Amino acid sequence: MANFAKLGLNSKVKAVLVVNDNIATTEQNGIDFLIKLFNYHFWVQTYEDGNIRKNCASVGDTYDEDRDAFIAPKPYASWILNETTCLWEAPSAMPDDDENYTWNESTTTWDIVE
């Protein structure tokens, strides 16, 4: 099955639909099918494994045409977009131990979850 992201204003993902591989033999065939079915013209194929377009699209994500990538909403103001993965990263790495942590935006540090 092939997955397609329906893009709205500012390339925000409004929905993700599945099209049978017999119809979506190419990305363009899948897009043409969806255009005919919904009379809506803004679709981009997305892939569950994220090996194409960096990440699998979800509702609320943005499709960045220049990067050819789906990017999730920024979770915190201090986080930085990794240009290679197009994933948001904290400005400091989460400690690598047996504790559970949560990000504290007010202190921009990782806090242990009690």
Report the pLDDT value the prediction gives residue 1, as an integer from 0 to 100: 94
Residues 5 and 46 in one domain: yes
* C-alpha 40: how far from chain center: 21
Backbone angles phi, psi at 67, to 5 degrees: -90, -10
Report the pLDDT value the prediction gives residue 51, as an integer from 0 to 100: 85
Residues 85 and 37 in one domain: no
Interval 19-64: pLDDT, tens: 999 999 999 999 999 999 999 999 999 999 988 999 999 999 999 9
Residues 85 and 96 in one domain: yes
| Structural domain of 113 | 75-114
Interval 62-110: pLDDT, tens: 999 999 999 999 999 999 999 999 999 999 999 999 999 999 999 999 9
Tell me the one-letter amino acid at 100.
Answer: N
Residues 69 and 82 in one domain: no
Residues 20 and 67 in one domain: yes
Q: Could you tell me whether strands 62-64 and 69-71 are parallel, antiparallel, or unpaired per DSSP bridges?
A: antiparallel
Report the number of distinct structural domains present in the chain. 2
Residues 107 and 58 in one domain: no
Report the pLDDT value the prediction gives residue 114, as an integer from 0 to 100: 86
Residues 64 and 15 in one domain: yes
Q: Hey, CA dihedral for 19, 20, 26, 28, is it positive or negative?
A: negative
